[in-house]
Amino acid sequence: MGTTLAAAFLASLVECVEALTVVLAVGSVRGWPGALAGAATALGVLAAIVAAVGPALTRIPLHMVQLVVGAMILLFGMRWLRKAILRAAGLIALHDEAAAFAKETAVLRGARVARGWDRLAFAAAFNITMLEGTEVVFIVIALGAGGRELMATASLGAIAALLAIVALGFALHRPLARVPENTLKFVVGVLLSAFGTFWVGEGAGIAWPGDDLAIPALMAAYLAIALCMAPVCRRVARAVPLATEEDKTDALV
Amino acid sequence: MRWYRSIAREVVGLFVDDGSFAGAILVWLALVVVVLPRLAAGARWAGLALFAGLAAILIVSVLRFARQGTK
């Protein structure tokens, strides 16, 4: 239960930080009414989607939910973990909220300022909140796949992350560049990969040694692999001549 | 209404940014779901086999990325 809460909180925190960066950029350049209205509308749409989809999930047989959601969370979590390893190895660039904020404000400054209702501000804030919010919704559904109690716990973690980021945004009025986003993604990648493996196993009828205790064991195993692979990849990349940035970018697409 | 296309792209992007990595995971999961319960119903090592396959896919993928500078 505590692990689900922590996983939902940390994963949602990362997504909320990314959304906050853009909403802050929109608000500071184009004005706050459009930015806040866009973000609030997106949150309303997301809440409506959760209200519609959440109860439907409880009617699907549990092992089927565990299998499908487990597979999705594995794809999602292992993608994060793979990127986190490559970032830790210095093979792909770290995510930089300050740079993202500067880029977004430059784009918004270049756009024409309309009189009255600022549709651009609304749309930009709505888009980013919907995009990152969709990821949060998916994370909550994935982590809460084990039943209603877990779903409530995962939702609580996500709501706590949202409130924490909104409070920090109001207090600081600048992007949260000091949040160790890449470290968080590393941790969340480990957590999601472990949960995904566990749920797929449960859905497939596999008997885990130690039952639920297999989850922390899986986390430890994924963490050990990730920590070992980052320096190994760094060494391998150094030993390989003629590596170009374009090659690396192409490989990510 | 361009936002829904962005969201669709973003949702797919949640799961896939390296096609072969995502494909390998799905193939391994399909094998595990179809084959393992018949071979090893109730066996404690089945979970270890599931994890070992996923770990191998992750390791091969990051090593392949690290080596990609060679021509």
**Boundaries of every domain in chain B:** 16-67
User: Searching chain B, which residue's CA lies closest to the CA of residue A70?
Assistant: B29
CB-based contacts of A80: which residues, under 8 Å, 6+ apart? Answer: A185, A188, A189, A192
Inspect the interface and report whether the beta carbons of B43 and A207 lie closer than 8 Å. yes
User: Searching chain A, which residue's CA lies closest to the CA of residue B65?
Assistant: A251
Query: Which positions in chain A touch B22 (Cβ < 8 Å)?
Result: 75, 79
DSSP assignment letter at A113:
P
B46 or A197, higher pLDDT: A197
Query: Which positions in chain B touch A232 (Cβ < 8 Å)?
Result: 63, 66
- The average confidence (pLDDT) of chain A is 82
Contact at 8 Å (CB) between B58 and A81? Answer: yes
* Rg over CA atoms, chain A: 20
Contact at 8 Å (CB) between A41 and A187? Answer: no
Give dist(CA A22, CA A19) in Å, integer. Answer: 5
- Select the residue from B35, B50, B57, B70 to test the A interface by mutation, using most A Cβ atoms within 10 A: B50
Contact at 8 Å (CB) between A130 and A47? Answer: no
pLDDT band at A225 (very low <50, low <70, confident <90, very high): very high
Name the domain count of chain A: 1
Inspect the interface and report whether the beta carbons of B51 and A200 lie closer than 8 Å. no
Ramachandran bin of A111, using left for φ above 0, alpha for ψ from -120 to 50, beta for the remaining angles: beta
Q: Is B3 on the interface with A (CB under 8 A)?
A: yes
Query: Which positions in chain A touch B48 (Cβ < 8 Å)?
Result: 209
pLDDT band at B1 (very low <50, low <70, confident <90, very high): low
Q: Is B1 on the interface with A (CB under 8 A)?
A: no
Contact at 8 Å (CB) between A125 and A26? Answer: yes
Inspect the interface and report whether the beta carbons of A207 and B46 lie closer than 8 Å. yes
Query: Which positions in chain A touch B61 (Cβ < 8 Å)?
Result: 82
pLDDT at B71: 36
Comparing C-alpha atoms, which of A83, A90, A88 is closest to residue A193?
A: A83
B residues 10-69 lying closer than 8 A (beta carbon) to A: 10-11, 14-18, 21-22, 25-26, 29, 32-33, 36-37, 41-44, 46-48, 50-51, 54-55, 57-59, 61-63, 65-69
Minimum-distance CB partner of A207 among B44, B63, B71: B44
pLDDT higher than threshold 90 for residue A115: no
User: Searching chain A, which residue's CA lies closest to the CA of residue B31?
Assistant: A204
pLDDT at A178: 63
pLDDT at A224: 96
Shortest Cα distance, chain B CAs vs residue A175, angstroms: 22
Domain hosting A14: range is 2-252
Inspect the interface and report whether the beta carbons of B69 and A232 lie closer than 8 Å. no
Inspect the interface and report whether the beta carbons of A225 and B37 lie closer than 8 Å. no
Helix locations, A91-213, DSSP H: 97-110, 119-143, 148-172, 181-203
Residue B34: strand, helix, or coil: helix
The model carries a pTM of 0.75
pLDDT tens, residue by residue, A163-201: 998 888 777 766 666 667 778 888 888 988 998 999 899
Query: Which positions in chain A touch B42 (Cβ < 8 Å)?
Result: 207
Which of A10-24, A31-45, B28-42 is predicted with the least confidence, judged by mean pLDDT?
B28-42
Task: Give me the DSSP letters along A83-99.
Answer: HHHHHHTTSSPPP-HHH
Contact at 8 Å (CB) between B58 and A204? Answer: no
pLDDT higher than threshold 80 for residue A109: no
pLDDT at A100: 73
Inspect the interface and report whether the beta carbons of B58 and A78 lie closer than 8 Å. yes
